[in-house]
């Protein structure tokens, strides 16, 4: 493969197809010592998409944490100890 005068190169179609890239796709060149690897960057995720993914995860894990009857404050005290600056005992 030869570079153009502008130091450009055409990515062969089988490679573009394998990576699922086309015009407008974002790619990265990753330096791995003696080799440089072309990697497809995933498309940017919108705020709404991130929120939907987080909501779905929270629904999936809802009710899976058992505090054994402890309140949230009691559980936090068990995990990190009481906060002397807020609740001196």
Identify the band that residue 10 occupies on the pLDDT scale cut at 50, 70 and 90. very high
Query: Distance between CA 74 and CA 81 in Å, rounded?
Result: 9
| Long-range Cβ contact pairs of 76-81 (< 8 A, separation 24 or more) | none
Q: What is the pTM of this model?
A: 0.47
Query: Distance between CA 54 and CA 34 in Å, rounded?
Result: 39
Domains, the chain, with CATH or none = 1-43 (2.10.260), 47-80 (no CATH)
Q: For 48-66, write each residue's pLDDT tens digit.
A: 999 999 999 999 999 888 8
**Cβ contacts of 20 within 8 Å, gap of 6 or more:** 40
The dihedral sign for the CA sequence 12, 16, 17, 22: negative
Would you say residue 84 has pLDDT above 80?
no
């Amino acid at each position: 493969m030869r570079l153009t005068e502008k130091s450009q190169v055409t990515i062969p179609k089988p490679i573009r197809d394998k990576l699922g890239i086309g015009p407008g796709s974002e790619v990265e060149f990753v330096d791995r010592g003696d080799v440089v690897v072309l990697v497809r960057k995933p498309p940017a995720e919108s705020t709404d998409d991130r929120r939907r993914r987080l909501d779905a995860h929270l629904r999936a894990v809802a009710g899976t944490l058992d505090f054994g009857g402890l309140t949230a404050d009691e559980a936090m005290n068990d995990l990190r100890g009481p906060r002397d600056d807020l609740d001196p005992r």
